[in-house]
């Protein structure tokens, strides 16, 4: 009997560690995404106050992800050197500084604040993937990573609803300062729940050497290369619809800011549920790449239909945004699970950071290109139609990777 109890004890501690780590990683992801999308939720109000066009929000989002791309590229080395918990704490500090800078209403400080938010966002996923990979059984990897990534649309919901709501009662500057309390409190919670996590430096490599080694590993691996392409295409779609949903409904369809924010929140909720749903689908059918191909097809179709948004009744406008959000925001957990599955043993955080470089490139190309197309056409639907090509291209890449698996 004593042998049986001793044999069962380690799995019990493992389950507790998994649940605790998943909860912490998901909460950090919610805060990270809310920090990125805070300005998009109140873009028309802020743009009017600063006397700039609301479509400039696309350039701000691209600036955030340009910064995130560089921090993600070196995040794997930093995680191995300092440990994932400390890197997560640094990311949360960056979000606090970002909220404060944007609240200043000074365009130069908003630029600096956006860079800080991007640094924090780029550090987050490699650190959280490393934390989760240490405690997640292979059989649960898709659902665990999808649950953690549900924090992205949940963060979008928080931003899309909370900031327009707060802006009705207090000045938007104050609303953003209230938002800074979220990363502050999360940082304290992480210090309590993971204070005992050991910090065991596993690498003394320079940041440049680590970056080169990670990219060499990725480009020698066909399936990791495919995941880079999918991250590029799908992130361009996800951030474009997240950044421009409110503005599109307000300017093209005549919605009020609060009503448009509610639709954006519903779209993000659909994305949160979609992430869990698609994670279950991937585990059930045993094909992450097959699931990613289906997501590309459905996402491209939804984007194409948004071209006709003005001609649709209100109910169909809402339905189209919600369903498209469930697809274009629902892909990330499956992709990160595939990265973890294909990464060399002990290098999940490093390879995740390397693959996410291309995800960040997609986000940089996405919203800024979307803004440029709108500046030329004056019609947000035209940008959605063009961007449907990202989904269709992703479908082809994912399907070929699925068919060519070994």
Q: Give how many domains the chain has, as a whole number.
A: 1
Q: Write out the two tokens for 94.
A: 């960056």
What is the pLDDT averaged over residues 207-222?
75
Q: What's the average model confidence in pLDDT over 23-27?
A: 91
Average the pLDDT over 116-124 and give the result.
Answer: 93
Instruction: State the DSSP code for 346.
Output: T
Give the per-residue SS3 of 301-336: HHHHHHHHHHHCCHHHHHHHHHHHHHHHCCCHHHHH
Which contacts of 207-213 are long-range, i.e. CB under 8 A and separated by 24 or more positions?
A: 207/74, 207/77, 207/78, 210/74, 210/76, 210/77, 210/80, 210/350, 211/73, 211/74, 211/77, 211/354
Model confidence at 191, in pLDDT bands (50, 70, 90)?
A: confident
Q: Which of 378, 406, 237, 262 is nearest to 310 (CA)?
A: 378
CA-angle at 100, arms to 192 and 22, nearest 5°: 30
332 is written with which tokens? Answer: 């990330």
What is this structure's pTM?
Answer: 0.73
Tens digit of each residue's pLDDT (9 = 90 or more) over 122-170 = 999 888 888 888 787 877 777 888 888 888 878 877 887 888 888 888 8
Range of the domain at 259: 2-403
pLDDT per position as a tens digit, 332-391:
889 988 888 887 776 777 788 888 888 888 877 887 788 888 888 888 888 899 899 999
Spatial CA neighbour of 326 closest among 276, 393, 377: 276
CATH number of domain containing 360: 1.20.1250.20
- Length of the chain as a residue count: 406
**pLDDT at position 327, please?**
93
Per DSSP, which regions of 179-235 are E strands? none
In the predicted structure, residue 198 carries a pLDDT above the cut 80: no
* DSSP secondary structure letter of residue 221: -
Task: Please report which confidence band the pLDDT of residue 202 belongs to, taking 50, 70 and 90 as the band edges.
Answer: low
The position carrying tokens 């002990």 is: 346
State the distance between the two ends of the chain, measured CA to CA, in whole angstroms: 44
Nearest to 358 by CA among 218, 191, 254, 247: 218
What is the structure's pLDDT at 363?
77
- Report the alpha-carbon distance of residue 317 to residue 306 in Å, rounded: 8
Angle at 263 between CA 260 and CA 266, to 5 degrees: 155
- pLDDT tens track for 238-297: 888 988 888 888 888 888 888 888 888 888 788 888 888 998 888 888 778 999 999 999
Extract the tokens encoding 267: 């779209």
In angstroms, rounded to a whole number, what is the distance separating the alpha carbons of residues 360 and 235? 7
């Amino acid at each position: 009997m004593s042998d049986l109890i001793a044999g069962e004890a380690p799995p019990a501690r493992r389950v507790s560690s998994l649940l605790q780590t998943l909860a912490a990683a998901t909460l950090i992801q919610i805060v990270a995404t809310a920090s990125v999308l805070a300005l998009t939720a109140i873009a028309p109000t802020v743009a009017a106050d600063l006397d700039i066009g609301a479509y400039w929000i696309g350039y701000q989002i691209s600036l955030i992800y340009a910064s995130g791309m560089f921090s993600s590229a070196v995040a794997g080395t930093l995680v191995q050197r300092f440990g994932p918990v400390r890197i997560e704490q640094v990311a949360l500090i960056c979000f606090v500084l970002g909220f404060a800078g944007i609240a200043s209403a000074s365009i130069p400080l908003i630029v600096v604040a956006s860079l800080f938010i991007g640094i924090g966002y780029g550090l987050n996923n490699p650190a959280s993937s490393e934390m989760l990979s240490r405690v997640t059984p292979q059989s649960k990897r898709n659902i665990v990573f999808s649950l953690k990534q549900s924090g992205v649309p949940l963060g979008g919901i928080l931003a899309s609803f909370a900031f327009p709501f707060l802006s009705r009662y207090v000045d938007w500057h104050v609303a953003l300062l209230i938002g800074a309390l979220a990363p502050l409190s999360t940082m304290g919670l992480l210090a309590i729940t993971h204070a005992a996590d050991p910090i065991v430096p596993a690498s003394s490599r320079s940041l440049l050497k680590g970056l080169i080694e990670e990219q060499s590993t990725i480009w020698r691996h066909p399936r990791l290369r495919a995941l880079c392409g999918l991250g590029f295409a799908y992130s361009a779609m996800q951030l474009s619809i997240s950044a421009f949903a409110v503005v599109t409904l307000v300017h093209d369809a005549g919605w009020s800011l609060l009503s448009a924010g509610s639709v954006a929140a519903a779209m993000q909720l659909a994305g949160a549920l979609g992430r869990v749903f698609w994670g279950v689908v991937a585990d059930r059918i045993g094909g992450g790449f097959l699931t990613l191909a289906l997501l590309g097809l459905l996402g491209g179709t939804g984007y194409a239909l948004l071209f006709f948004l003005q001609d649709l009744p209100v109910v169909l406008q809402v339905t189209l945004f919600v369903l498209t959000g469930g697809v274009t925001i629902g892909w990330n957990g499956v992709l990160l699970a595939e990265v973890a599955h294909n990464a060399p043993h002990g290098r999940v955080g490093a390879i995740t950071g390397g693959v996410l470089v291309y995800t960040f490139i997609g986000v940089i190309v996405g919203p800024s290109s979307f803004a440029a197309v709108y500046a030329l056409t004056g019609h947000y639907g035209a940008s959605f139609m063009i961007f449907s090509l990202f989904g269709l291209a992703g479908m082809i890449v994912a399907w070929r990777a699925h068919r060519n698996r070994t």
